[in-house]
Structure 1
């Protein structure tokens, strides 16, 4: 059997595959099988509010040249968003483009 990772949200070992996603039946968390790397282009999958800005980041916004970092607060992607500037994002709000 294929080595399927534990759920990153709750740690459950009962995860399974569904197409291009891994799914946890215990907490209903879904995540992509695609592993992100420095320099990747990603797409935002949820409207995001930005502190100190009247406009946020809309679904479908493409972000080029991401940089993965260790973030204590869960923000593990450094990037420059068009129209917003330099920002840190959580990996759960993007998918590989």
Structure 2
């Protein structure tokens, strides 16, 4: 009998398979049964993040907004030319995590240029 792998989030071995996903009842984390952890890590490492001009971005870079961005669910507008001192790259649709004026924002790299 095949034993399911340990949970990648909490590392506990109390996991089970439900259809095409593994589920950890301890922390509630779900992940696909088909993909392996090593292939997920290599695909994230292979992803290259580029700014609006095509320059490669990396963690800790400074960036500048290239257009005004309205913040969803708020009346705040991030102005064109705002400098972001330190960015952090994350996986997902909005791939840049940063702080502007003490508030945390998730932005798309296509709206930034490397400073």
Q: Do they fold alike, i.e. is TM over 0.5?
A: yes
Higher helix share: 2
Partners of 1:93 and 1:53 in 2: CA distance: 19
Taking structure 1 as the reference length, the TM-score comes to 0.61
Q: Does 1:45 align with 2:66?
A: yes
- What's the counterpart of residue 92 of structure 1? 110
> Over aligned residues, Cα RMSD in angstroms?
1.3
Q: Which has the larger radius of gyration?
A: 2
Contact 1:40 1:65 in 2 (8 A): yes
Deviation at 1:76, TM superposition (A): 0.2
Structure 1, unpaired ranges of 5+: 1-30
Q: How many residues align?
A: 64
Give the alignment partner of residue 89 of structure 2, picking from 44, 64, 68: 68
Segments ≥4 residues shifted beyond 2 Å = none
CA distance in structure 1 between the aligned counterparts of 2:105 and 2:54, rounded to whole angstroms = 24
Q: Is the 8 A contact 1:67 1:79 kept in 2?
A: yes
In 1: Cα distance, 2:98 partner to 2:72 partner: 16
Tell me, in whole angstroms, the C-alpha distance in 2 between the residues paired with 1:51 and 1:34. 27
Q: Partner of 2:96 in structure 1?
A: 77
For structure 2, list consecutive stretches of 5 or more residues without a partner in the other structure.
1-51
TM-score by length of 2: 0.52
